[in-house]
Structure 1
Amino acid sequence: MSARLLRVCVTGPESTGKTTLARRLADRFHTEWVPEGSRVYAERIGRALTADDVIPIAREHILLADAAAELVRRAHGRMLVLDTDLLSTVVYARHYYGASPRWVERMERERRADLYLLCDVDVPWLPDGIRDRPENRGEMLALFREAIVRRGAKYKLVHGDWESRFLIAVSAIEEMGLGAGLGAGRGAG
């Protein structure tokens, strides 16, 4: 029986460097990263999201995460890096639509990350055509932190310039023992 795959999730408000950090961490630890399911979905449908999109977004994320996890397992890796997960789907569904579907909440509980890297809002907002509401990043950061703490999940706030964020994240992964002996994933051989 293979060891359980460890999940590190980069999460937080929009335009805080999550994708860049997830990619860098995957490279650093020779593993796969999972793109943000809501972004993949939003780019594909090409319209504003509604409450009816919450379950399809969750399904998109699950498909992407499961496919990446399978690649890591086949390479005998031990860690997967996620550019957000279903916690983000739940937080945004509650914020924008007032509730999150029970199925999404259940899936979020079952698929919770081993470590959340919560990206602070101390970097400039970069518009990209999908992001909105730059003025509420502080509010969203508080909602993410509250959701993580309420779940009793392990997390580390990553802040500062881009290199500081990366170093804080690497240190948090290594402190949990998640970085040791990972080898064998993508690019490790």
Structure 2
Amino acid sequence: MALNENIIKIAVVGPESTGKSTMSAYLANHFGTVWVPEFARGYCENLNGDYTWQDEVNMFYGQLELEKEMLPKAKNGLIICDTTFITIKIWSDQLFGKSPQEVLDELPKHPYDLYLLLDIDLPWEDDPLRDFPDMREHFMQVWHNELQTLDANYTVVSGTGDERYSNAVAAVNQFLKSL
């Protein structure tokens, strides 16, 4: 089945421990559609050592393939993506000082209609796959920079508890009304 170009793609992005997966699941349920999980999480759970350059490349291709698999399952003309492969660029730049060329080449070819950049106003939650609890402000600025470089349509979603969910739903609704 060919990818449906008429599907609105909403990406939930941001630094570590901002609730991206929980928000993605919530929004998919709220809008009656599916969400694309973060490929890197499952991949990294199976690593027996530090990330390598090849791991970053593998996660890039894995995220692309997972989104491609989920897109035909989208309902109501909408799909929610728990992060995007921009994360691969951000992590590669942080860990290796540069990004894989295939990631850089593909970034402008895979736009999302709206990015919800989750704010760092939630408390940090320890997780074996999280690495930089003291660099959240840095990574928030990196996300702003990356999204601005892509000339992306994005909204920062702040708040805790139900307020955060309401703010995200309101941002999506406002975007949908603007179409």
Same fold by TM-score, threshold 0.5 exceeded?
yes
Equivalence for 1:118: 117
- Aligned CA distance change for structure 1 residues 166 and 3 (closer, same or farther; 3 Å): same
Equivalent position SS for 2:44: helix
Query: Match for residue 184 of structure 1?
Result: none
Q: Is the 8 A contact 1:51 1:93 kept in 2?
A: yes
Aligned mates of 2:14, 2:177 — CA distance in 1: 21
Structure 2: give runs of 5+ residues left out of the alignment. Answer: none
Give 1:115 shift: 0.6
Q: Which residue is equivalent to 2:162?
A: 163
Q: Which letter does structure 2 place at the counterpart of 1:86?
A: F
Aligned residues: 177
Match of 1:47 in 2: 49
Q: Does 1:18 align with 2:20?
A: yes
Per the normalisation by structure 2, the TM-score is: 0.92
SS in 1 for 2:116: strand
Separation in structure 2 between the aligned mates of residue 147 and residue 67 of structure 1, nearest angstrom: 26
Q: Distance in 1 between matches of 2:84 and 2:119?
A: 17
Give SS of 2:16's match: coil
TM-score (norm 1): 0.87
Give the deviation of 1:111 after TM superposition.
1.2
Whole-Å separation in 1 of the counterparts to 2:82 and 2:69 = 14
The residue type equivalent to 2:117 in the other structure is: L
Residues 137-146 or 36-45, more deviating: 36-45
Distance 1:45 1:179, change over 3 A: farther
Please state how far the C-alpha of 1:90 moved relative to its aligned partner. 1.2
Task: Tell me, yes or no, if the aligned pair for 1:6 and 1:178 is still in contact at 8 Å.
Answer: no
Aligned to 1:99: 98
Q: Please name the residue that 1:69 is paired with.
A: 71
Separation in 2, partners of 1:164, 1:179:
22
Q: Secondary structure at the match of 1:81?
A: strand
Q: What is the RMSD of the two structures over their aligned residues, measured on CA atoms?
A: 1.9
Unaligned stretches of 5+ in structure 1? 181-189
